[in-house]
Structure 1
Amino acid sequence: MAETPKYAAPPGPGYTGVVVLADGSVFWGWGLGAEGDAVGEVCFNTSMTGYQEILTDPSYAGQIITFTFPHIGNTGTNPEDIETQGIAARGLILRAPITGPSNFRADSHLNDWLKLRNLVGVSGIDTRAMTRRIRDLGAPNGVVAHAKDGKFDLAALHAKAKGWPGLEGMDLAAEVSCRQTYSWDETRWVLGQGYGKLTAPKYHVVALDYGIKRNILRSLATAGCKVTVLPANSTAEDVLRHKPDGVFLSNGPGDPAATGVYAVPTIKALVDSGKPVFGICLGHQMLALALGGKTAKMERGHRGANHPVKDLETGKVEITSQNHGFCVVEESLPKNVVRSHVSLFDGSNEGLKLTDKPVFSVQYHPEASPGPQDSHYLFDRFVKLMERQRG
């Protein structure tokens, strides 16, 4: 007969939150946000700002985010700093209780914002220990749970964590992509003015939505591009019917090989069309697949707003915002694909370009939401390709 596992008991009364990992490890804390539980891959993010943008980034679908920065909540929340209408992340893990808002743009307390969006979180967790665990052992599957009465069925939560299949082989882009085509003309936010509107577009870009962030769309609009956004499962014919000057392949969650089952044939045809193509994150990975390369699951991934990347064309180092758990296997790329950017943390591929077509991509997030603005030049690089193509 199998032995009943022994779970760590709460260190005292009053604990209303718990994190249970697939290996049976239990971390006690205090619940925040909505009551209930959520299962996903437990990762960590080192960003010091932008928790609202992070929680609404569709690339975090299927993940529970451990925030390493202690003062989460200090800028409150507002209706402007969101990257998609819904919630993308499964849950969140904090060291300290939510910090009260102290910012002139704050509209509501983070805890109220989480409740409204049915997002479960736990504070009081040793996030340094959790981060070291992920760093050393890889990102585990886990459950985050919140109950006001402090009563939890640990065996059931453990079974849920163990039974979750994980992100490898999972197509999550289909869940977060738009369902209908729409147009975008809103530009980046400016202090004292808010968001602007593109009134005289120079170029027309079709963006394939695998989980696109709004600030990517704003960045394209700021660069002078009217954007038409199409669902993830659109064909090359669907894209080219709009007669775009260029095509954008968006960020998104899940395994690129799984989403690539339907996306890669489209991307191949778009590359063959000769149109300028620019990909970010999942779009970068699937472009590599379309070119004959391979992708692989990373043990811990890159998530934060302080990742140094070297642009091998200019020799400059940029500090970047990143969020990915898969990477391009560089040695699998064909000869007409050149490595353009490299991570100075671990040497992994951060960008590629074709030698014979106006096509390039990066692994990180140049739209900087949240994050530094060192990489905004990539949108201008895309515009220059479209300008050259027009002659």
Structure 2
Amino acid sequence: MQARLLLEDGTLFTGKSFGAEVEKTGEVVFNTGITGYQEVLSDPSYCGQIVTMTHPLIGNYGISRDDFESIAPSIHGFIVRRYEPRPSNWRAECSLGDLLKEYGIPGITDIDTRMLTRIIRHHGTMKGILTTSSKSVEELQEMVAAASIDELRNQVARTSTQHIYSSPGTKERIVLVDFGAKNGILRELNQRDCDVVIVPHDTTAEEIRRLNPDGIQLSNGPGDPKDVPYAAKMISELLGEYPIFGICLGHQLLSLACGADTEKLKFGHRGGNHPVKELATGRCHITSQNHGYTVNEASIAGTDLEVTHINNNDKTVEGVRHKKYPAFSVQYHPEASPGPYDNSYLFDRFIEMIREHKRQHPRKSRQIELMARAKGE
């Protein structure tokens, strides 16, 4: 079946459908990863987006239940140069096309993804529509123009958990604030035997205090960080009280909470091979990234933040830490999935920060503290 992709600038791509026979609008972006397409399409940070894979062959190793980064994909479309419908992998349980059909996601293959990527790099990300219908180009243009920007916003509420739940462990209690968290973050904390409590995106500072955490993990997530001002407010109220570690959207929200500003990148950073320099050591890390916004470096001046990492490609801010309080964040994904696991040591750094904070600020045991609260002390 024929499928078409129409960009808001009028560029039309015609190819073949390999996903659901539906019509979806979204922000068209590209990812430079060679592998990891399942983790990409199941990453909640892609909510509302139509993702282009720049690697020319996609689908060759199929889909495995072990590689999902969320319960269900949130992307609005998938674009590839060549789709392989017959995967060769002993772990494969179904094809990529079968997965897209199951979740109502359109896919298009046999188009020039190099041309599409160049358009996005030159003009920036833009809205588009991916369809298998026979509607005229004029009708599709009207649909793209009429697509509400609100459809491309409020993604955090759509991807976050709606209820508090826990992943028990025997060591440090971590409250993971879910703004659209990848499973990889929880997996890294579980590997360190942390007692993890996952809470919704709109959880207040007081509600987090009642959980009596040792540290707070701010997750990744989709969209503009300024769309969730309540999260920045919550973070500002907890700064200094608990150690905080932010990832991706969590990094941007920590920066906003400290008085810095964020801005949208022309076409974002999405892939598993982005070089990042750690300023303290001069060491270059190869990182996994997926974001369309960044912290404005000039806005950090005058705050209590200092830059710790920069992107070696475009010199944007990739990490900050608080000068007074135990809080730091990175723009990239130390949990990878997909991408290199070189930066998972940051979770160890977070745990050590928590232990140091507890040594410097010993607190009553949880049981004693909860009894004292119950008595109103």
Q: Which TM-score tier does this pair reach, normalised by the shorter chain?
A: over 0.9
Match for residue 218 of structure 2? 249
8 Å contact from structure 1 (residues 32, 146) kept in 2: no
Whether 1:83 and 2:69 are equivalent positions in the alignment is yes
User: What is the SS of the residue equivalent to 1:352?
Assistant: strand
Listed as ranges, the matches of 1:190-339 within 5 Å are 201-259=170-228, 261-273=229-241, 275-333=242-300, 334-339=302-307
Listed as ranges, the matches of 1:1-391 within 5 Å are 16-147=2-133, 151-166=134-149, 170-185=153-168, 201-259=170-228, 261-273=229-241, 275-333=242-300, 334-391=302-359
Pairwise CA RMSD of aligned residues? Answer: 1.5
- Alignment length (residue pairs): 358
Shift in alpha-carbon separation, 1:214–1:164, aligned structure 2, 3 A: same
- Percent identity between the two aligned chains: 44
8 Å contact from structure 1 (residues 169, 255) kept in 2: no
Shift in alpha-carbon separation, 1:278–1:284, aligned structure 2, 3 A: same
Query: Residue 171 of structure 1: CA displacement?
Result: 2.5
User: What is the SS of the residue equivalent to 1:289?
Assistant: helix
CA deviations over 1:306-364 (Å, ceiling 9, x no partner): 00001112221110000000000011123421101100010000000011110000001
Query: Residue 166 of structure 1: CA displacement?
Result: 4.2
Query: Residue 161 of structure 1: CA displacement?
Result: 1.6
Distance 1:169 1:271 in 2: 30
Question: Which amino acid in 2 is paired with 1:224?
Answer: D
Distance 1:94 1:306 in 2: 19
Shift in alpha-carbon separation, 1:278–1:144, aligned structure 2, 3 A: same
Question: Which amino acid in 2 is paired with 1:69?
Answer: H
8 Å contact from structure 2 (residues 275, 313) kept in 1: yes
User: What is the SS of the residue equivalent to 1:101?
Assistant: coil
8 Å contact from structure 1 (residues 122, 146) kept in 2: no
Question: Which amino acid in 1 is paired with 2:155?
Answer: L
Question: Which amino acid in 1 is paired with 2:161?
Answer: C
Q: Quick check: which one's helix share is greater?
A: 2
8 Å contact from structure 1 (residues 22, 159) kept in 2: no
8 Å contact from structure 2 (residues 259, 303) kept in 1: no
CA deviations over 1:111-133 (Å, ceiling 9, x no partner): 11111111101111100000011
Query: Residue 99 of structure 1: CA displacement?
Result: 4.7
Q: Which ranges of structure 1 fall in alignment gaps of 5 or more residues?
A: 1-14, 186-199
8 Å contact from structure 1 (residues 37, 143) kept in 2: yes
Distance 1:249 1:67 in 2: 28
Question: Which amino acid in 1 is paired with 2:74?
Answer: A
Q: Which ranges of structure 2 fall in alignment gaps of 5 or more residues?
A: 360-377
User: What is the SS of the residue equivalent to 1:247?
Assistant: strand
User: What is the SS of the residue equivalent to 1:53?
Assistant: helix
Distance 1:253 1:219 in 2: 20
User: What is the SS of the residue equivalent to 1:80?
Assistant: helix
Question: Which amino acid in 2 is paired with 1:255?
Answer: D
Distance 1:302 1:245 in 2: 32
Shift in alpha-carbon separation, 1:99–1:71, aligned structure 2, 3 A: farther
Shift in alpha-carbon separation, 1:127–1:169, aligned structure 2, 3 A: closer
Shift in alpha-carbon separation, 1:168–1:318, aligned structure 2, 3 A: farther
Shift in alpha-carbon separation, 1:167–1:355, aligned structure 2, 3 A: farther
